[in-house]
Amino acid sequence: MGRRARAGYFEPVPGGGAAIALDTVEISILRSLAVQLLELVGPGEQPAGADDDPLAGLFTEGPSKPPDDPALARLFPDAYEESEEAAEFRRFTENDLRARKREDALAMVRVLDSGGPVLKLAPGEARQWLGGLNDLRLTIGTRLEVTEDENDELYHLDDSDPRKPLVMAYLWLGGLQESLVEALTG
């Protein structure tokens, strides 16, 4: 990262990874969003006794039905059309996917708590941040009912519209995600 880093944009660092300069408000917002994501993802449905025996936890089956919450359903989509295969796949993969999403969000919180204003991400942390930023955007996009058709209405909301803060967060997270990808691949 050069001496004059552009605030709010990830830049590559020697040896891989990335760094970004954020102010205290941006750090606070990102941390709050990551913690909310942790709360949303939660531990999932855990069978009784799964915490007692670590070996049993490896063979624990997860849920077989998609979550009712649309944001969770977006984070944990069916791998197949509604079918027995989808239920079977979900049962054996969702717990691991939840754990990975929790680890990604926790990695964000740890880095954000490490102090600033320049946050440095090791290569592994950068990958976790990509996952966490993506999950945050998917969650907010689902709450805003963003579709692939990109609804231009969201970009021209009146300041009094209650969706405006979510739209601003959605767009900001997209910019962070894009600059992180550029820093890692550029």
Alpha-carbon distance of 81 to 56, in angstroms, equals 30
Mention every residue, 6+ apart, whose C-beta is less than 8 A from residue 135. Answer: 37, 41, 75, 101, 104, 105
State mean pLDDT over 64-87: 84
| In the block, residue with structure tokens 């025996």 | 53
Question: What confidence tens digit (pLDDT) does each residue in 146-157 have?
Answer: 887 666 788 888
Place of tokens 């990262």: 1
Residue 143 banded pLDDT, cuts 50, 70, 90: very high
What are the tens digits of pLDDT across the range 20-54? 999 999 999 999 999 999 999 998 655 544 455 55
Q: What does the alpha-carbon distance between residue 55 and residue 138 come to, in Å, rounded to a whole number?
A: 33
Residue 54 CA to residue 19 CA, distance in Å, equals: 36
Q: Name residue, tokens 């803060």.
A: 165
Place of tokens 């295969």: 85
CA distance 95 to 108: 20
Q: How many CB atoms lie within 10 A of CB 86?
A: 17
* pLDDT for 150: 63
The reported pLDDT for the residue numbered 87 is 81
- What is the rounded CA–CA span in Å between residue 35 and residue 54? 26
Q: Residue 177's pLDDT band (boundaries 50, 70, 90)? A: very high
